[in-house]
Chains A and B, each alone.
Chain A
Amino acid sequence: MIEQVFRDEWGRVVASLVSFLGDFDLAEDVAQEAFVLAVERWPRDGMPANPGAWLVTTARNRALDRLRRERTLVAKTRLLEVPVPEVEVGRSTVPDEQLELIFMCCHPALATEAQVALTLRALGGLTTEEIASTFLVPPETMKRRLSRAKAKIKTAGIPFRVPPEHLLARRLSAVLAIVYLVFNQGYGGRIDLSAEAIRLGRLLCRLMPGEPEVHGLLALMLCHDARRRARFADADLVLLEDQDRSLWDAAQIAEGRAALDRSLALLGRGPYVLQGAIASLQIEQPIDWAHVAALYGELARRTRSPVVELNRAVAVAQAGSPQAALDIVERLELDDYPYLHSTRAELLRRLGRAEEARAAYRRALELTRNEPERRFLQRRLNER
């Protein structure tokens, strides 16, 4: 119960404190102290009516005590000339500062890895140890990286604000890229990062309801994640057409489709809306592969990404033209990319060119590190 409140409130509390104190480190420290205090007191005294406000107020008071002790009151804080309001700050009465915090954590002047780590720490409430385990580094290393990133925010003057109109599109796509990166690191590790990314996606939708790309990203993540349980059978990879649909998460699919509808209603046609639309089409029965191919075509024109072209080729093949698909694949310069070779192998197999197919499967097998994928390719090689 308390743990759930903590997960829900951490980001809001930290954001509010960073805004108030103008100091990320101090904000995190006192937020941590307030949460520790809550663990002691709430079970004894009962949960406060507004846990979030209790945490913010307690943490603020801690920060003020600390700053007074340090006697650097004015120098260290932005707002302390103003008397501190001791009123209960309710959920609906304070502006939500989490958006400012996201834009600060995902500022392109920080290393990508630092952006991910800061976002997970500040907004996701993951501990430094948990983040370290997802990056496969010792906790001490992650601690240093986080401190260095926070020091840069302070020293280099990375702003705590939603970027102005002329910067917004670019910066928002940087934020979405970080959330999507978190999502894609999601499978396998001890921490469920895809669930974390979806949580961040929902938060962004609530904070920026007018941005189609935000809803597009949420749709994309939900439609993919909904198929998670069907994607593996006893740790073996199951292709989309062979998946057991009863294992798909109907509630996630419904939420994903609703998010997609909102993004389309906002006239979105950006990369995440397109990918969300594709992910949604892929859970239809039957799948309209021609439509999927057309959307990949639009996405490829926008992103100029050969990986997207490769996906278009798969859709073209599924729509009934394996030869046209192979023609697309042969044009791509992605020789180190295992999926190029596995896709090419699959197409050659379907076109009855068995020997060439086997060579391509072998090449894919050389390049793939992922165990379930390796077993899948090996099964294909062993057929006939």
Chain B
Amino acid sequence: MQYAVLIYEKPEASDRLSLEEQQAVSDEYMAIHEDPRVVEGARLQPVEMTTTVRMQGGETLITDGPFADTKEVFGGYYLLEADDLDAAIEIAERIPAARLGGAIEIRPLMYRHP
């Protein structure tokens, strides 16, 4: 099965970490990326860099910032090839954002990624 593992972070959580701790967290993300079950993954720029696009009555509406103001922001994802949901949960548990006040969503893919 293929799963998108969506990472929601508490942006201020990493500010409270020391430089060494931030480095350690970053290493953890890299280590997960190296897991053979991870097909691909990406980390996004901070949420302040977001542009939101809507179409209203044929008009394009462009706004600065994310479409919803939430405490947790979408910060990146992994695409997994895993046997079942339990295997995906095991990987999600290792993602630092999960213990740093954020949350991880696991979504099965509708179509298979090549």
CB distance from A172 to the nearest CB of B (A): 14
| B84→A155 contact, CB < 8 A | no
Contact partner, B108, options A107, A155, A167, Cβ 8 Å = A155
Contact with B along A163-178 (1 / 0, CB 8 A): 1000100000000000
A residues near B86, Cβ cutoff 8 Å? 159, 163, 167
Contact with A along B55-97 (1 / 0, CB 8 A): 0000000000000000000000000001111101100000000
Per the bound structure, the CA–CA distance linking A167 and B84 in Å amounts to 14
B residues near A295, Cβ cutoff 8 Å? none
Q: CB of B106 within 8 A of chain A? A: yes
Residues of A within 8 A of B (CB): 107, 109, 155-159, 163, 167
B residues near A167, Cβ cutoff 8 Å? 86
CB distance from A139 to the nearest CB of B (A): 29
Task: Give me 6 A-to-B residue pairs in the complex whose CB atoms sit less than 8 angstroms apart, sorted by A's number.
Answer: A109-B89, A156-B106, A156-B108, A157-B3, A157-B108, A159-B83
A residues near B85, Cβ cutoff 8 Å? 107, 109, 156-159
CB distance from B43 to the nearest CB of A (A): 25
A residues near B100, Cβ cutoff 8 Å? none
The chain B residue sitting closest to A160, CB to CB, is B84
Per the bound structure, the CA–CA distance linking A318 and B88 in Å amounts to 50
Per the bound structure, the CA–CA distance linking A167 and B86 in Å amounts to 9
Q: Knowing that A157-B83, A159-B85 are A-B contacts, what are 13 other residue pairs whose CB atoms are under 8 Å apart, sorted by A's residue number?
A: A107-B85, A109-B89, A155-B108, A156-B85, A156-B106, A157-B1, A157-B3, A157-B82, A158-B84, A159-B83, A159-B84, A159-B86, A167-B86
Per the bound structure, the CA–CA distance linking A157 and B89 in Å amounts to 11
Residues of B within 8 A of A (CB): 1, 3, 82-86, 88-89, 106, 108
Per the bound structure, the CA–CA distance linking A158 and B89 in Å amounts to 11
B residues near A155, Cβ cutoff 8 Å? 108
CB distance from B89 to the nearest CB of A (A): 8
B residues near A157, Cβ cutoff 8 Å? 1, 3, 82-85, 88, 108
B residues near A159, Cβ cutoff 8 Å? 83-86
Per the bound structure, the CA–CA distance linking A186 and B84 in Å amounts to 34
CB distance from A287 to the nearest CB of B (A): 44
The chain B residue sitting closest to A107, CB to CB, is B85
The chain A residue sitting closest to B86, CB to CB, is A159
CB distance from B10 to the nearest CB of A (A): 23
The chain A residue sitting closest to B88, CB to CB, is A157
Per the bound structure, the CA–CA distance linking A159 and B108 in Å amounts to 14
Per the bound structure, the CA–CA distance linking A109 and B105 in Å amounts to 11
The chain A residue sitting closest to B106, CB to CB, is A156
B residues near A109, Cβ cutoff 8 Å? 85, 89
Per the bound structure, the CA–CA distance linking A163 and B84 in Å amounts to 12
Per the bound structure, the CA–CA distance linking A350 and B82 in Å amounts to 62
CB distance from B31 to the nearest CB of A (A): 19
B residues near A156, Cβ cutoff 8 Å? 85, 106, 108
The chain A residue sitting closest to B109, CB to CB, is A155
Per the bound structure, the CA–CA distance linking A353 and B54 in Å amounts to 68
CB distance from B33 to the nearest CB of A (A): 22
B residues near A163, Cβ cutoff 8 Å? 86
Per the bound structure, the CA–CA distance linking A157 and B86 in Å amounts to 8
Per the bound structure, the CA–CA distance linking A232 and B82 in Å amounts to 53
Per the bound structure, the CA–CA distance linking A98 and B73 in Å amounts to 41
CB distance from A367 to the nearest CB of B (A): 33
CB distance from A138 to the nearest CB of B (A): 30
CB distance from A124 to the nearest CB of B (A): 24
CB distance from A206 to the nearest CB of B (A): 25
A residues near B82, Cβ cutoff 8 Å? 157
The chain A residue sitting closest to B82, CB to CB, is A157
Per the bound structure, the CA–CA distance linking A156 and B3 in Å amounts to 8
A residues near B84, Cβ cutoff 8 Å? 157-159
Per the bound structure, the CA–CA distance linking A159 and B3 in Å amounts to 14
